[in-house]
Amino acid sequence: MKFQVKLGDVKSIKCDAVILNMFEGVKVPSGAAAVVDKALGNAISDLIKTGELKGKPNEIQVINTLGKLPARLVLVAGLGKKEEFDIDKLRNAMGEAVRALRQHNCKSAATILNDTVEGSVNATEAAAAVVEGCVLGSYQFKKHLTKKDEQKEIDELIILEKDTSKQNLIKKGINQGVIVSDAVILARNMVNEPANYMTPSHMAQIARETADKNGLDVTIMDRGQMEKEKMGALLGVAQGSSQPPKFIVLTYSGDASVKSSIGFIGKGLTFDSGGISLKPQDFMSDMKGDMAGGAVVIAAIGAIAALKLRINVTAIVPATENLPGGRALKPGEVLKASNGKTIEVVNTDAEGRLLLADALSYAVKKGISPIVDLATLTGACHVALGDLYAGLFANNQKVADNVMKAGKGAGELLWQLPLPEEYKELNKSDVADIKNSGGRYGGAITAALFLQEFVGKTPWVHLDIAAPFMSDKTKGILVKGATGFGVRTLISLAMILSKSK
């Protein structure tokens, strides 16, 4: 999809559809909507009067212009109540709008930002949100369909703006929105990809391509190098699979004035069967997406480099499968992580924390700080917070607050959960330093407490994305399947940290 800003107005622009946004409860259209309303003989105000157009979030009304405007259709997208407006409402409204355009066989559309760009939202942010909404809302994963459908796709969106100084702000927003949404799409594609395609080696390949494209350094460790690093926990999980494990490290050097680097670590289980502690069959296929954290950090570091942010970032992805092969890890085995700690494996399905134990130890050893990890870690987090929220855990409130702030701007919902001293005993083992499951109650918390044992004093935030990595609905910018949750939070975080220097 192409995006451009043009001098022009809704009355004369030639395209398939004009997209207007409207706040909920508006009685009389104003701005661009008023102009269109007049040209269409009060079509918009009539729909408002009859209650067919309310401006609620996710609402779309399609009006045929019957030749009264050069555009064939006018789409009115609801933004919800004006006093509740934030940038995410605009993003989601565009997501809905773009799917409506597809249904109505439109290839080109134009929109205007003026009504929403007031107060706290600037033109750059608004333009980025429009782009993100369009790209993410129209996403489909069709790679493996052999029958190509005839469906028309929107290939051009024009943002109309008369003020030339604003035009530059909008251009900047378009550029940013394209980079960010491309990264989210990359993560979605990786997660949606079946496990026979998305192997650890293939993840490493994508990491290499991302590095080449964006000028990142890349190191891929294979089994032998992991043995040298004494990554016994990760290797334990990997031994049940015939796919070779990969330990992926990407680095972006955007700030030569400091040596330090922040770290993004992503769980990279390209398939999690549970291992010998086999999962039940329901939804097991979703576990092709157990590398979502890994996909997110690879995509995010690529975008951060493309945006040329003034910051140093290291992305780390321990990647393997968790399968019940003849050599697989058995419940009761004791493993030694690379920081020397021993772990009793009471449940081979609690494998994510084993991978992260070695990845966190590696980051700490390299002096990377702060660390943010993302992992589809526990079903318990899904039970605790429902479909939309990721659980946030932190040993440092300042970093936690920055991640929360980043999540807000990105429209990705985060909720902080505690790391209580009192629950640490649940992870105590009789035969090793720690065991890999603290039982059923507070499962997301005991998993996070386990991870905490491997970060030492390094400021660290853990995001459990077991719920929001996938969506079972198509709504706003979400399309059923992988969401790419976390990519936009990490990019916003890098923006916040690079600006605060």
Smaller CB separation from ligand BES, 316 or 377: 377
Query: What distance in Å separates the CA atoms of residue 215 and residue 313, rounded to the nearest whole number?
Result: 13
Smaller CB separation from ligand BES, 16 or 349: 349
Sign, CA dihedral 61-63-69-72, equals positive
CA distances to 17, 56, 483, 497 from 26, in Å: 22, 10, 32, 39
Q: How many CB atoms lie within 10 A of CB 158?
A: 20
Contacts with 154 (C-beta within 8 Å, 6 or more apart), sequence order: 1, 98, 101, 102, 106, 107, 108, 109, 134, 138
In the set 193, 272, 321, 412, which binds Mn ion (CB under 5 A)? Answer: 272
In the set 115, 272, 358, 373, which binds ligand BES (CB under 6 A)? Answer: 272
Q: Which residue in this structure is represented by tokens 């020397």?
A: 340
Q: Among Mn ion, ligand BES, Zn ion, none, what does residue 437 contact (CB within 5–8 Å per kind)?
A: ligand BES
Residue 466 interacting with ligand BES (CB under 6 A): yes
In the complex, the smallest distance separating the C-beta of residue 440 from ligand BES, rounded to whole angstroms, is: 8
Catalytic-residue membership of 353: yes
**Beta carbons of 413 and 390 less than 8 angstroms apart:** yes
- The single-letter DSSP state of residue 139 is -
Smaller CB separation from Mn ion, 364 or 375: 375
Catalytic-residue membership of 279: yes
Smaller CB separation from Mn ion, 349 or 358: 349
Residue 344 interacting with ligand BES (CB under 6 A): no
CA distances to 49, 95, 141, 300, 474 from 138, in Å: 31, 7, 10, 20, 10
Q: Among ligand BES, Zn ion, Mn ion, none, what does residue 78 contact (CB within 5–8 Å per kind)?
A: none
Q: How many CB atoms lie within 10 A of CB 13?
A: 19
Chain centroid to CA 466: how far?
A: 12
Looking at 323-452, which runs of residues are DSSP E strands? 334-336, 342-344, 371-375, 390-394, 414-416, 434-435
Residue 88 interacting with Zn ion (CB under 5 A): no
Q: Among Zn ion, ligand BES, Mn ion, none, what does residue 127 contact (CB within 5–8 Å per kind)?
A: none
Smaller CB separation from ligand BES, 407 or 443: 443
Range 136-195, binding ligand BES (CB under 6 A): none
**Beta carbons of 373 and 447 less than 8 angstroms apart:** no
Range 285-314, binding Zn ion (CB under 5 A): 290
Per-residue contact string for residues 377-396; x = within reach of ligand BES by CB under 6 A: xxxx----------------
Residue 349 interacting with Mn ion (CB under 5 A): yes
Q: Long-range contacts for 285-288 (Cβ within 8 Å, ≥24 apart)? A: 286/470, 287/195, 288/191, 288/193, 288/194, 288/195, 288/198
In the set 200, 232, 266, 443, which binds ligand BES (CB under 6 A)? Answer: 443
Sign, CA dihedral 373-376-377-381, equals positive
In the set 329, 350, 372, 400, which binds ligand BES (CB under 6 A)? Answer: 350
Range 208-227, binding Zn ion (CB under 5 A): none
Omega before 370 within 30 of 0, i.e. cis:
yes
Range 326-365, binding Zn ion (CB under 5 A): 352
Residue 352 interacting with ligand BES (CB under 6 A): yes
Q: Which residue is nearest to ligand BES (CB)?
A: 379
Query: What distance in Å separates the CA atoms of residue 202 and residue 184, rounded to the nearest whole number?
Result: 18
Query: What distance in Å separates the CA atoms of residue 48 and residue 352, rounded to the nearest whole number?
Result: 52
Q: Which residue is nearest to Zn ion (CB)?
A: 272
Query: What distance in Å separates the CA atoms of residue 314 and residue 499, rounded to the nearest whole number?
Result: 18
In the complex, the smallest distance separating the C-beta of residue 74 from ligand BES, rounded to whole angstroms, is: 42
In the complex, the smallest distance separating the C-beta of residue 393 from ligand BES, rounded to whole angstroms, is: 15
Q: Of 288, 353, 435, 488, which is the active-site residue?
A: 353
Smaller CB separation from ligand BES, 98 or 445: 445
Q: Of 6, 279, 310, 341, which is the active-site residue?
A: 279
Q: Which residues are catalytic?
A: 279, 353
Q: Which residues bind Mn ion (CB under 5 A)?
A: 272, 349, 351
Q: Which residues bind ligand BES (CB under 6 A)?
A: 272, 286, 290, 347, 349-352, 376-380, 437, 443, 466
